[in-house]
Structure formats: C-alpha cells, structure tokens
Amino acid sequence: MAQQGMISPFEPSLIRKVQKDESVGVQPVISYGVSSYGYDIRLSSAEFRIFRHIPGTIVNPKKFNPHNLEPTPLHRDTNDIYFILPAHSYGLGVALERLEVPNNITVICIGKSTYARCGIITSITPAEAGWRGHLTLEFSNSSSTDCRIYADEGVVKLIFLEGEPCAISYNARQGKYQDQAELVTLAKVC
C-alpha cells in the first residue's frame, strides 16, 4: 500500500546513512523508511514553531491564537539542517512525507527512541482511516538543555493497524484536519 501512494515519498528500506555532500562522503542519519511493523517518517524543513508565553494570554484550543507560536529558524552546519527546541519547551513541526490512509487502516504516530533518550517526547498522534495530508507533529523538550531536531531525517515512527473498512472514514465525515499542507496546522474546533 505504501508503494502505491499511501506514503509519499516512500523509502522501501530503512535508511541509516546518506551522502549529503559529495566532498564528505556517506554520513549517519537518524533512520527513516520501512522498519519492523512500521515506517519512520522525516521532519520537513518547511516549518517549525515553538510555543511562547505572551503575558495576559491563555492558549485556547477553541480559539487558538497563532501569536502563541513563534517560527524558529532552520539552522545549517557542515552536513546537517536542524531546528533547535529550547529546554523545557514545546514545538510543532510537520512531516516531510504525505500520507493517504486507506479506509481499512489507522495509523498511530509515536516517538523514536533516539530522541526520547535526549529528553524529547513526541505526542502520540493518530491518522485515522481515510485521512490524508502531512501530519503536524508535536514535540516536548523535557530536558534542561536545548536540543537539535534534524530536518530531512527520521523523527517519528508510524505504526499501522489494519481492520475491516470503517463505516465512516475521516474523509467521509469531512474531518477538520483533512488535506494538511506541508506546514504546521494549528488547533481548530469547527
């Protein structure tokens, strides 16, 4: 299913090393692609936003104030591109891969152990049967140190649950997060 458009772009094997720059050679990356019973997706370099406290405001999921999220720059060094998630903060990124979930599959998105060992907690996010788009990903830095989150490398694992086609898919009920672009999608209540 993944090779036929459920995941795009699709990597049929687990990638642990890539050649990012011809002068440097093959370099290790945080793995992405097909894994045991799942698929590791990458963080897009398109956008990453960090929650900032604005005195006098309260984050309200029913009337989300976009000013509570501050864009953060994409950093570059010799071979890597990354965002910095400050200590004790919370940020939103977006998946590089686009999903088109069939009506008999539900996807659960969980964190990768490489980041968990650095204090990065990924919120468990579902992609329901019939959902399509780029997942908005949620990260919390529970450590007392700023942490890099690498773009274009593995960041979360997708686990697929297959069953009978659901009676009413996310698409059929016109879910509010359908067809998310490769940008952070804010909380909304419709």
In a domain, 184, yes or no: no
Closest CA to 163 of 107, 95, 118, 104: 104
Number of domains in the chain: 1
Q: How far apart are the two ends of the chain, measured CA to CA in Å?
A: 31
Task: Please report, for residues 123, 151, 186, 187, 189, the alpha-carbon distance to residue 62 in angstroms, rounded to integers and kept in the order given.
Answer: 19, 30, 11, 8, 5
Does residue 14 belong to any structural domain of this protein? Answer: yes
- Does residue 140 lie within any of the structural domains? yes
Per-residue model confidence as pLDDT tens digits over 81-101: 999 999 999 999 999 999 999
pLDDT at residue 22, as a whole number:
73
Residue 152 has pLDDT above 90, yes or no: yes
CATH number at residue 102: 2.70.40.10
Tokens standing for residue 18: 């890539």
Q: If you search the block for the tokens 């093959």, which residue do you land on?
A: 26
Report yes or no on 89 lying in a domain.
Answer: yes
Mention every residue, 6+ apart, whose C-beta is less than 8 A from residue 130: 101, 102, 103, 166, 169, 170, 171, 172, 175
The model's pLDDT over 117-142, given as tens digits with 9 standing for 90+, comes to: 999 999 998 999 999 999 999 999 99
Any idea what the Cα angle at residue 29 is, between residues 24 and 34, rounded to 5°?
Answer: 130
User: What was the pLDDT predicted at 93?
Assistant: 97
- pTM for the whole structure: 0.92
Which of the residues are catalytic? 138
Length of the chain: 190
Residue 58 lies in a domain: yes
Q: Is there a domain that residue 41 lies in?
A: yes
Q: Is residue 174 part of a domain?
A: no
Categorize the per-residue pLDDT at 43 as very low, low, confident or very high, splitting at 50, 70 and 90. very high
- Taking residues 62-79, what's their average pLDDT? 90
pLDDT at residue number 16: 96
Q: What percent of the chain has pLDDT over 70?
A: 99
> pLDDT, tens digit, for every residue of 2-31?
778 899 999 999 999 988 777 778 899 999
Average pLDDT of the residues of the chain: 92
Answer yes or no: is 185 within a domain. Answer: no
Structural domain boundaries enclosing 67: 2-162
